[in-house]
Structure 1
């Protein structure tokens, strides 16, 4: 399997921080779950037999109030069906994807710095085999491709 990505690299996170902070942002999330969640030894959910998907559901449950509290909302969600353009399916199968909207990047920073969010994110880390998180400037919806 190709390299997995769960957390941002320092270089990628700096590029995120260098972008404008005062405009709405969309964050595309692509998720590939572990068969079984991998919690650290001593964590309350370690050894509970949860699937990666179940651990990610716990992340959603425990982080939702913080996400909503900074003005975040999910504007699109979908379940992966097949790769049309990209690597062969055996190489990269995403289980789920969604787009989270934030009023600005400051809201995203406030969320990830929140102590309760930092406790919740352990569920995300335990859940994911691989992921992608990409920032987009929202554009106009509707119409054609161009």
Structure 2
């Protein structure tokens, strides 16, 4: 049976918190949207018929100012085309790399009360996702 991921496990989030907090980070995001967004009952967007992609756009609109305020920026974005190496049947809709000045900026974003309201849109939007932290390296040149 397929396993889906929307939020980090406690152990994965602890591993993230245990890494250095004073250096720039890149966060690779892979997104698979729900056909129809699933908002909790009573939420202002519940039952509005939005697609998962539309709900994620709302997440971007509502979380974007907080992301910018903490110094975040998108350094790469792409639309999925096909899996070359990886499991069959695992199609991502979109991917992007978010850069933060340090992990403290990421923590400041997710603790912000306005972000906590905005993230409901992300949860409603996604069927599956991956979020991976990388230390930025040099770009350009070859593989080595």
TM-score higher than 0.5 here? yes
Task: Give, in whole Å, the separation in 2 of the partners of 1:53 and 1:142.
Answer: 32
Task: Give, in whole Å, the separation in 1 of the partners of 2:134 and 2:73.
Answer: 15
1:1-21 deviation line (CA, Å, top 9, x unaligned)? 511000000000000000000
- Of residues 110, 117, 138, the one that matches 1:140 is 138
Where do 5+ consecutive residues of structure 2 fail to align? none
Q: Tell me what 2:77 maps to.
A: 77
- Of residues 102, 119, 122, the one that matches 1:121 is 119
Q: Tell me what 2:7 maps to.
A: 7
Q: TM-score, normalised by structure 1?
A: 0.98
Task: Give, in whole Å, the separation in 2 of the partners of 1:130 and 1:137.
Answer: 24
- After TM superposition, the structure 1 = structure 2 runs for residues 37-116 of structure 1, keeping only pairs within 5 Å, are 37-88=37-88, 90=89, 92-116=90-114
Q: Tell me how far 1:76 sits from its aligned partner.
A: 0.1
Q: Tell me how far 1:139 sits from its aligned partner.
A: 0.3
Task: Give, in whole Å, the separation in 2 of the partners of 1:13 and 1:86.
Answer: 24
Count of paired positions? 144
Q: Tell me what 2:21 maps to.
A: 21
Where do 5+ consecutive residues of structure 1 fail to align? none
Q: TM-score, normalised by structure 2?
A: 0.99
RMSD (Å), alpha carbons? 0.5
Q: Tell me what 2:128 maps to.
A: 130
